[in-house]
Homo-oligomer: A and B are copies of this chain.
Amino acid sequence: MAVYTEVSDDELTRFIASYGLGSLLSYKGIAEGVENTNYLVHATGGTFILTLYEKRVDPKDLPFFLGLMEHLQARGVSCPLPVRDANGNILNELGGRHAALVTFLEGVWPRKPTAEHCLELGRALARMHIAANGFALTRHNALGLSGWRPLYEKFADRCDEILPGLHKLIDKELSDLETQWPKALPEGVIHADLFPDNVFFISNNLSGLIDFYFACNDMLAYDIAVCINAWCFESDYAFNVTKGRALLKGYNAERPLTAAECDAMPILARGAAMRFLLTRSYDWLNTPKNALVARKDPFDYVRRLRFHQNATSISDYGGETPA
């Protein structure tokens, strides 16, 4: 939630012109996105988001992220469309940063998601999974199973500063995940970070998906497990089964889950909770208390994890295993 890189009016005027988008009318740094600098740009040629990629993004991944958005848009998924400049380039440089311009997507993310939102979300997620089929590039999930233990080892010795007993809890859970993690589920390109702030609605209709900067290749059902964690718990940590049912119903309407995917949902949900518990714990210990970026409390994911540890089948999430 910050503008890390300032862009001058002259630089941006030239940049916009190189895309054939006419004159620059206005640009405002927007307080969104933890990782990158974003400007909302009005030009005579339309409204755009300009993103300057800051240090945490690996430039080698940018063709995957931008190419994916282009691939999805061409297949009817509503998401920001990267604009190509006069030379056909999707990725440029501005203010000493890698930079891209994408079309502005209207919509508002739901601060209090309802079951109706979850139904729409499920449908859109399944459609995205289908549409991503055939995308030529691949990207390993750096925050998947194989990445969890190395990340954990970076802060394991300080773990109990966050919560007494957290060290033991993560140790045990990581071992369980490593032995029980499913291996033969359908794979493809997943969003991997589809929290409410990445899903836009206009008057309760889903208007699009944004922020593909964690997208990667992994099990499709893992993406649902991320959404279960991100959308279906109340602020008192209670699981809302009506929302879970709606999410799964929406997804199944577009891409029916296999029996194996249904059976794996509790362990996938545990894995997704672990992924956010690990990154939030790491950030908690490594972000100064008075930094520009708000620290997100890892404790939310300890509570979610406990729910998933007690789940025995997809019916605990409101779903049904196909006969």
Our pick among B25, B26, B203, B292 for the contact of A292 (Cβ within 8 Å) is B292
A106 to B107, CA, bound (A): 21
Known contacts A26-B106, A32-B28, A106-B26; A1/B1 CB under 8 A: no
Chain A interface extent, by class: 35 or more
Q: What is the 8 Å Cβ interface bit string for chain A, positions 96-124, against chain B (1 contact, 0 not)? A: 00000000111111111000000000000
A319 on the B face (CB < 8 A):
no
| Complex contact B106–A42 (CB within 8 A) | yes
- For A105, the chain B residues whose CB sits under 8 A away are 26
Our pick among B26, B106, B288 for the contact of A108 (Cβ within 8 Å) is B26
A260 on the B face (CB < 8 A):
no
A1 to B104, CA, bound (A): 22
A66 on the B face (CB < 8 A):
no
A182 on the B face (CB < 8 A):
no
- For A203, the chain B residues whose CB sits under 8 A away are 23
Protomer copies: 2
A106 to B29, CA, bound (A): 14
Q: Which residue of B lies closest to A200 (CB)?
A: B26
- For A32, the chain B residues whose CB sits under 8 A away are 28-29
Q: Which residue of B lies closest to A13 (CB)?
A: B108
A109 to B26, CA, bound (A): 9
Report the minimal beta-carbon distance from A176 to chain B, rounded to whole angstroms: 37
Q: Which one of A2-10, A157-165, A234-242 is at the B interface?
A: A2-10
- For A2, the chain B residues whose CB sits under 8 A away are 31
- For A104, the chain B residues whose CB sits under 8 A away are 26
A227 on the B face (CB < 8 A):
no
A62 on the B face (CB < 8 A):
no
A34 on the B face (CB < 8 A):
no
A290 on the B face (CB < 8 A):
yes
| Complex contact A27–B292 (CB within 8 A) | no
A31 to B2, CA, bound (A): 7
A202 on the B face (CB < 8 A):
yes
A291 to B288, CA, bound (A): 12
Q: Which 8 A-B residue pairs are closest in the complex by CB-CB distance?
A: A29-B31, A25-B106, A28-B30, A8-B111, A3-B31, A9-B108, A26-B106, A290-B290
Can you offer 27 A-B residue contacts whose CB atoms are under 8 A? A1-B3, A1-B29, A2-B31, A3-B31, A8-B111, A8-B112, A12-B108, A13-B108, A23-B203, A24-B108, A25-B106, A25-B107, A25-B108, A26-B105, A26-B200, A27-B108, A28-B28, A28-B31, A29-B30, A29-B31, A29-B32, A30-B30, A30-B40, A40-B40, A42-B106, A288-B290, A290-B290
Known pairs A1-B3, A10-B111; list 10 more (Cβ under 8 Å). Answer: A1-B29, A9-B111, A25-B106, A28-B32, A28-B40, A29-B32, A30-B31, A30-B40, A288-B290, A292-B292
Residues of chain A whose beta carbon lies under 8 Å from any beta carbon of chain B: 1-3, 8-10, 12-13, 23-32, 40, 42, 104-112, 200, 202-203, 288, 290-292
